[in-house]
Amino acid sequence: MAKPDDRSNNPARLQNAIDHTMANLREAEDYLDEHAEEISADDKSSIEAKNQKRKEAINGFIAEKQDEQND
């Protein structure tokens, strides 16, 4: 038997994902600020690309959370 679709915790779950992703973003930015001169250009570029994807994910989570709250 399938579980019922309980979406009541979605806003909290999405907020947790936002918080976690923002923490990772800040940690990576802090790492770049402290060690940019010590890491290779490829590593720096990779971290910057990951941070861009994190920003996009955060925007998506926020939009999804707003949709959930409006339903």
Res 1: pLDDT = 72
Note the pLDDT tens digit of each residue in 10-68. Answer: 999 999 999 999 999 999 999 999 999 999 999 999 999 999 999 999 999 999 999 98
The model scores a pTM over 0.75:
yes
Say which residue the tokens 């959370």 belong to.
65
End-to-end CA distance of the chain: 26
CA-based max dimension of the chain: 57
Distance CA 54, CA 38 (A): 23
The structure tokens listed for 8 are 């009541």
Q: Contact at 8 Å (CB) between 67 and 14? A: no
Q: Contact at 8 Å (CB) between 8 and 34? A: no
Res 28: pLDDT = 98
